[in-house]
């Protein structure tokens, strides 16, 4: 297996799918000549040329809508948002068109499209550039939402997304692009809707995706030193959600902490907590705890940014709470 | 300022030099890790903010994008408080909440820097709307890059301003590049100013590398907007010497060093120095003294920022909902 960076894994997924299917193309700001603002599309313009790796002006609503139109007549666009903060400008297109066209047309038209790009906080980018917007998209019927946390999942899930006949939103945490991991050689896919247990444990289930998954894995090591054996479950896809794998873990540990970088109010973790409490109340030894970002726009100042985001300390505190150790 | 008074070009030289030295220092502080996040330098473009804001009245409003240090200093925001904001300190102009891209100062009608390309242009239109609504004679100056011009926000905001005859000056700082994309690959309209025609808005071109041109034209334009009560579009052709942000090399593969050097020949600061020396309005000694004074201000601002406290943890939720 090759040891490669998350950004390379995504680049490989796109390039391999573009070689496999000439209907697939990539469009977005700076994806071509600049090789991608975060270098995910490095080398792609050279290989595929400017008709398939398309630089756009700063017109998120426009080029996303263009992608939807092209998808309706058979192409398979990958739309790159330079960051998901800017996808807000394209939300009307994504929510009112991409997500609804199949349903509104009685199944006559489909929108096989991927909208992907970095999300979440990075280092001190302040309120307009540090947002985790997964829950906004998860809320919308007609969309699928994936959020891979390691290079292997990133490649396999993105390939599935490109082959999917529905609009798929792919969140790639900005802070993950440089992280490394083993990625199998050759073609493989990871199905959308299947979670993965990233660490086995028996005392408590930690549920987290994307950057927070890595935080949970680190925190689990910390907990192990304190004699607490945490299982870490990565849903990998947020809509559809693999509740089975989650419940399986909950039945084993009887305690759950869900960790989400985004805000608490109406978050994805609220949805997961609700499902668990309905399906597994009988085995829960404590109410499900959620560790989320604070309910504030992310400030610029270093100390405040740190205070606003989930941390190992906050996770450990929540774990102790569900174990009645605090 | 009446037309009989001499233009304040010495003051403009001081301001442009301050912006340049302040940002050179900011780049250093970024390298040291004292400044974080995205930091976009305005070096090369100083004449636009200084000439345009210099031509406005202090009571007029300024709205700008994320490349906002120059506009802030030209508007008279205290350098030490701007530097403190870049450091993320409680004494910063936005109390450490905003950082480089979000400088605000209500006391100077400095309505903010915004990080979403084009997202602030409707706000400027809205401030213009309020001026009309309240029958005030204040004008709004709205700065943005040519990268905003293809965006929906730009066209929607300009149409409304023109339709409703609002007192806004839209100033496109065309520095030729939006990140790595030259204007000819982002805009079907190469002559950006013509975009105003789609909204029946008068337009002007100004030389963004020459503060005397910016100032003299902007004086007339702003007074025209104040009297006629209708918006105007201005395209200032300028050039950024540095990378798009601190994460971009000075001249990426999207342009050559020779191209940058060509533009540096028309450096706005050197050009104005030359002019003032020729007309004997300033001496070489006075320029040196000005440089020394500015050096002091910049060093003081770093010291102030460094010594200032971080915001208290209570600030995390203090400014979200108004009481
Ligand atoms: C809506 C949106 N899309 C993309 C970006 C990322 N981005 C930041 S600056 C920039 C280039 C803007 O160029 P221009 O408007 O010409 O201003 P300049 O940087 O040249 O001053 C881009 C693409 C953003 N901030 N907002």
User: Å from A323 to nearest chain B CA?
Assistant: 29
Place of tokens 């950006």: B192
User: Å from A242 to nearest chain B CA?
Assistant: 35
Using H for helix, E for strand and C for coil, what is the string for chain B?
A: CCCCCCCCHHHHHHHHHHHHHHHHHHHHHHHCCCCCCCCCCCCCCHHHHHHHHHHCCCCCEEEEECCCHHHHHHCCCCHHHHHHHHHCCCCCCCCCCCCCCCCCEHHHCEEEEECCCCCCHHHHHHHHHHHHHCCCCCCEEEEEEHHHCCCHHHHHHHHHHHHHCCCEEEEEEECCEECCEEHHHCCCCCCHHHHHHHHCCCEEEEECCCHHHHHHHHHHHHHHHHHHCCCEEEEEECCCCCCCCCCCCCCCCCCCHHHHHHHHCCCHHHHHHHHHHHCCCCCHHHHHHHHHHHHHHHHHHHHHHHHCCCCCCCHHHHCCCCC
Closest CA relative to residue B47, chosen from B290, B275, B229: B275
Structure tokens at B284: 């070489």
Structure tokens at A274: 């609700």
**DSSP 8-state assignment for residue A175:** G
- Rounded-to-5 percentages of helix, strand, coil across chain A: 40, 20, 40
Interface probe, candidates B316, B320, B321, B322, chain A, greatest A C-beta count within 10 A: B316
Q: Which residue of A has its CA nearest to B88?
A: A301
Which parts of A84-126 are beta strand (E)? Answer: 114-119
Structure tokens at B265: 């020949």
User: Å from A29 to nearest chain B CA?
Assistant: 9
A295–B178 C-beta distance less than 8 A: no
B208 Cβ closer than 6 Å to some ligand 1 atom: no
- Give the other-Cβ count within 10 Å of A119's Cβ: 30
Closest CA relative to residue A223, chosen from A183, A253, A196, A193: A253
B105 Cβ closer than 6 Å to some ligand 1 atom: no
Q: Whose CA is nearest to atom 17 of ligand 1?
A: B145
Q: CB under 8 Å to B183, separation ≥6 — which residues?
A: B146, B174, B176, B177, B190, B192
Nearest beta carbon to residue B88 from set A85, A128, A300: A300
Distance of CA A175 to the CA centre of its chain: 12
Task: Give catalytic status of residue A30 as yes or no.
Answer: no
Whole-angstrom distance, CA of residue B93 vs CA of residue B89: 9
Nearest beta carbon to residue A296 from set B90, B178, B320: B320
Whole-angstrom distance, CA of residue B119 vs CA of residue A229: 48
Place of tokens 């020394």: B292
Q: CB under 8 Å to B22, separation ≥6 — which residues?
A: B69, B73, B79, B82, B83, B298, B301
DSSP-assigned beta bridge partners for residue A116: A80, A170
Q: Please give the C-alpha separations between residue A321 and each of A117, A201, A208, A269, A288, in angstroms, as whole numbers.
A: 35, 17, 18, 17, 10
Q: Do B159 and B199 meet the contact criterion of CB atoms below 8 Å apart?
A: yes
Q: Note the pLDDT of residue B249.
A: 79
Q: CB under 8 Å to A120, separation ≥6 — which residues?
A: A130, A131, A132, A171, A173, A174, A175, A210, A211, A261
Q: Do B196 and B203 meet the contact criterion of CB atoms below 8 Å apart?
A: yes
Q: Whose CA is nearest to atom 18 of ligand 1?
A: B145
Contact residues on chain B for A295, CB-CB shorter than 8 A: 317
Largest CA distance in chain A: 60
Angle at CA A185, nearest 5°, toward A184 and A190? 50
What pTM, to 2 d.p., does this model score? 0.95
Q: Note the pLDDT of residue A326.
A: 83
Atom of ligand 1 nearest to the CA of B183: 16
Q: For residue A240, say if its preceding peptide bond is cis, omega within 30 degrees of 0.
A: yes
Q: Note the pLDDT of residue B4.
A: 53
A37 Cβ closer than 6 Å to some ligand 1 atom: no
Whole-angstrom distance, CA of residue A301 vs CA of residue B89: 7
Q: Do B88 and B306 meet the contact criterion of CB atoms below 8 Å apart?
A: no
Q: Do B118 and A58 meet the contact criterion of CB atoms below 8 Å apart?
A: yes
Task: Give catalytic status of residue A129 as yes or no.
Answer: yes
The list of chain B residues with pLDDT below 70 reads 1-5
Closest CA relative to residue B41, chosen from B303, B302, B270, B239: B239
Place of tokens 């947020």: A238
A29–B179 C-beta distance less than 8 A: yes
Q: Note the pLDDT of residue B320.
A: 94
Torsion angle (degrees, nearest 10) of CA A55, A164, A111, A38: -20
A126–B37 C-beta distance less than 8 A: yes
Per-10-residue mean pLDDT, chain A, length 326: 97 98 98 96 98 98 97 97 98 98 96 98 96 97 98 98 98 98 96 98 98 98 98 98 98 98 98 98 98 98 98 98 95
DSSP alpha helices (H): ranges in chain A?
A: 6-20, 44-48, 60-72, 84-87, 91, 101-104, 134-138, 151-163, 211-225, 243-253, 268-279, 302-308, 312-322
Catalytic residue among A8, A17, A29, A60: A60
Catalytic residue among A129, A139, A248, A317: A129
Whole-angstrom distance, CA of residue A61 vs CA of residue A151: 29
Q: Note the pLDDT of residue B6.
A: 80
């Amino acid at each position: 297996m090759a040891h490669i960076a998350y950004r390379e894994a995504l680049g490989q997924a796109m390039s391999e799918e573009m070689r496999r299917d000439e209907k697939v193309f990539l469009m977005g700001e700076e994806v071509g000549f600049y090789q991608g603002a975060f270098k995910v599309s490095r080398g792609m313009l050279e290989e595929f040329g400017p008709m398939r790796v398309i630089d756009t002006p700063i017109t998120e609503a426009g080029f996303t809508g263009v992608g939807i139109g092209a998808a309706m007549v058979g192409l398979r666009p990958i739309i790159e948002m330079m960051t998901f903060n800017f996808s807000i400008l394209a939300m009307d297109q994504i929510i009112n068109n991409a997500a609804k066209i199949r349903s509104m047309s009685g199944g006559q038209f489909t929108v096989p499209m991927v909208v992907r790009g970095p999300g979440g906080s990075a280092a001190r980018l302040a309120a307009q550039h540090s947002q985790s917007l997964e829950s906004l998209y998860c809320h919308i019927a007609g969309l699928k939402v994936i959020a891979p946390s390691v290079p292997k999942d990133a490649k396999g899930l993105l390939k599935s997304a490109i082959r999917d006949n529905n609009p798929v939103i792919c969140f790639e945490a900005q802070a993950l692009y440089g992280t490394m991991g083993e990625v199998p050689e050759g073609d493989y896919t990871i199905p959308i809707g299947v979670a993965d247990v990233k660490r086995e444990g028996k005392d408590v289930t930690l549920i987290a995706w994307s950057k927070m998954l890595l935080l949970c894995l680190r925190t689990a090591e910390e907990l192990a030193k304190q004699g607490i054996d945490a299982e870490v479950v990565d849903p990998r896809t947020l809509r559809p959600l693999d509740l089975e794998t989650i419940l399986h873990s909950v039945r084993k540990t009887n305690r759950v902490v869900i960790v989400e970088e985004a805000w608490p109010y109406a978050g994805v973790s609220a949805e997961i907590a609700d499902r668990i409490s309905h399906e597994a109340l009988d085995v829960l030894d404590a109410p499900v705890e959620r560790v989320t970002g604070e309910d504030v726009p992310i400030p610029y100042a270093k100390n405040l940014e740190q205070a606003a985001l989930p941390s190992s300390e906050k996770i450990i505190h929540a774990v102790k709470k569900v174990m009645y150790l605090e | 300022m009446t037309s009989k008074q001499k233009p304040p070009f010495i003051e403009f030289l001081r301001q442009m030099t301050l912006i340049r030295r302040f940002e050179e220092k900011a780049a250093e502080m970024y390298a040291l890790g004292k400044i974080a996040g995205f930091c976009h330098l305005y070096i090369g473009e100083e004449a636009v903010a200084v000439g345009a804001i210099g031509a406005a009245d202090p009571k007029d409003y300024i709205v700008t994008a994320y490349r906002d240090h120059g506009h802030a200093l030209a508007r008279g925001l205290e350098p030490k408080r701007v530097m403190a904001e870049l450091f993320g300190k409680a004494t910063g102009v936005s109390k450490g909440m905003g950082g480089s891209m979000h400088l605000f100062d209500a006391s100077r009608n400095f309505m903010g820097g915004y990080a979403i390309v084009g997202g602030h242009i409707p706000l400027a239109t809205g401030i213009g709307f309020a001026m009309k609504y309240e029958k005030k004679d204040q004008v709004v100056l709205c700065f943005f890059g040519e990268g905003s011009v293809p965006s929906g926000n730009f066209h929607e905001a300009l149409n409304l301003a023109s339709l409703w005859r609002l007192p806004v000056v839209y100033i496109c700082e065309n520095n030729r590049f939006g990140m790595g994309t030259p204007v000819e690959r982002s805009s079907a309209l190469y002559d950006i100013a013509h975009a105003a025609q789609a909204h029946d808005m008068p337009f002007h071109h100004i030389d963004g590398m020459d503060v005397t041109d910016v100032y003299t034209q902007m004086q007339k334009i702003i007074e025209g907007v104040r009297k006629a009560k209708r918006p105007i579009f201005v395209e200032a052709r300028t050039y950024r010497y540095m990378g798009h942000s601190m994460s971009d090399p000075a001249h990426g593969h999207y342009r050559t060093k020779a191209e940058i050097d060509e533009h540096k020949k028309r450096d706005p600061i050197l050009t104005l120095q030359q002019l003032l020396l020729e007309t004997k309005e300033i001496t070489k000694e006075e320029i040196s003294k000005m440089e020394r004074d500015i050096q002091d201000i910049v060093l003081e601002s770093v010291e102030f920022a460094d010594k200032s406290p971080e915001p208290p943890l209570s600030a995390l939720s203090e400014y979200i909902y108004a009481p």
